[in-house]
Structure 1
Amino acid sequence: MNLHVTSGVYAERSRSIIRELKHLEGPMLPILHALQEEFGFIPDEVKPVIAHELNLSRAEVHGVVTFYHDFRQAPAGRHVLKLCRAEACQAMGGDDLADAARRLLGIDFHQTTLDGAVTLEPVYCLGLCACAPAAMLDEDVHGRVDEHCLGELVAEARR
């Protein structure tokens, strides 16, 4: 057995979570969601643990983690700002809002500000199509977001 499979900060807790869920049909996604819920991201050191427990290659596990945008490969900032990238929000100025967010924060999607305050993530529909463009700061959803509202959300996150 590979040393990475048996040791590490996240390995033991990961094994427990994986063993709890590996009986499910198609267990990888539920396992990845549970690991992200536990750690806030999918640590590299758990990929070999998942591969070993599910009898998969590390490449298969890595492929799933990197394919789905919901899985983080690094810890998020203290706050997560999600901007809707779906068609309704794009049609109502979502692209300009995304550009403004990137400028305001000095980062791109899937990145965290240097002070660790905000992680910027795209999301594909927040269910507020009639109130587009939409954003979500942590668990609070906001509709009809413009640059002024975006500035207030960022200021709130940086406090």
Structure 2
Amino acid sequence: MNIRVAADDVSARISAVIAELQHLEGPMLPILHRLQEEFGYIPEVAKQIIASALNLSRAEVHGVVTFYHDFRAEPAGRHVLKLCRAEACQSMGCEPLAETIKAKLGIDWHETTADGAVTLEPVFCLGLCAQAPAAMLDGELHARLDEDCLTDILAEVRS
């Protein structure tokens, strides 16, 4: 019974977001962004509810959700670490840093540590090309990363 109530509550919250934003021109992205803000991810049930409300197929909604890398199908960890993998950061050594991060956290891209502390995401340009390599931790930018900075960042997210 509680599972059903929880599912009904999620559906009601999704429907409320849609009702608030469906009047916009091209409402799907604003709706998806709001749902991601509210839930921390896009619940699977949201795809059909959005599709019905916007007179689209579920496949069309699924296509948009999976096309944009910022939309998640699962909740993220308490911290989200995004490492830039664009050309400037690659030329300044982001790939060895990425391998170090993945090894220290024991996860790969788009995964969350077993304790739920950190989700690791690749990003393709944070706009800090002159200060590469760069990362973003919970919305805060970090530039000119090296092993020392990396150690500090990882200590921060693991505490």
Paired residues of 1:126 and 1:134 also in contact (CA < 8 A): yes
Q: What one-letter code is carried by the residue in structure 1 that aligns with 2:58?
A: R
* Alignment correspondent of 2:105: 105
Q: CA deviation at 1:148?
A: 2.3
Paired residues of 1:79 and 1:137 also in contact (CA < 8 A): yes
Question: 2: distance between equivalents of 1:31 and 1:64?
Answer: 12
- Equivalenced residue count is 154
* Alignment correspondent of 2:157: 157
Which 5+ residue runs of structure 2 have no aligned equivalent? 1-6
**Aligned partner of residue 122 in structure 2, secondary structure:** strand
* Alignment correspondent of 1:83: 83
* Alignment correspondent of 1:3: none
* Alignment correspondent of 2:33: 33
* Alignment correspondent of 1:71: 71
Q: What one-letter code is carried by the residue in structure 2 that aligns with 1:86?
A: A
Structure 1: which 4+ aligned runs deviate by more than 3 Å? none
Q: Structure 1-normalised TM-score?
A: 0.92
* Alignment correspondent of 2:45: 45
Q: CA deviation at 1:147?
A: 2.1
Question: 2: distance between equivalents of 1:28 and 1:85?
Answer: 28
Q: What one-letter code is carried by the residue in structure 2 that aligns with 1:43?
A: P
* Alignment correspondent of 1:10: 10
CA RMSD of aligned residues (A): 1.4
Q: Structure 2-normalised TM-score?
A: 0.92
Q: CA deviation at 1:127?
A: 1.6
Q: CA deviation at 1:153?
A: 0.6
Q: CA deviation at 1:24?
A: 1.4
Q: What one-letter code is carried by the residue in structure 2 that aligns with 1:151?
A: T
Q: What one-letter code is carried by the residue in structure 2 that aligns with 1:20?
A: E
* Alignment correspondent of 1:118: 118
Q: Deviations over 1:90-115 (max 9, x none)?
A: 11111111111111111111110000
Paired residues of 1:94 and 1:133 also in contact (CA < 8 A): yes
Q: What one-letter code is carried by the residue in structure 1 that aligns with 2:149?
A: C
Paired residues of 1:8 and 1:45 also in contact (CA < 8 A): no
Question: 2: distance between equivalents of 1:90 and 1:65?
Answer: 27
Q: CA deviation at 1:72?
A: 0.8
Q: What one-letter code is carried by the residue in structure 1 that aligns with 2:39?
A: F
Q: What one-letter code is carried by the residue in structure 2 that aligns with 1:149?
A: C
**Aligned partner of residue 116 in structure 1, secondary structure:** coil
* Alignment correspondent of 1:138: 138
Q: CA deviation at 1:51?
A: 0.8
Paired residues of 1:108 and 1:120 also in contact (CA < 8 A): yes
Q: What one-letter code is carried by the residue in structure 2 that aligns with 1:11?
A: S
Q: What one-letter code is carried by the residue in structure 2 that aligns with 1:88?
A: A
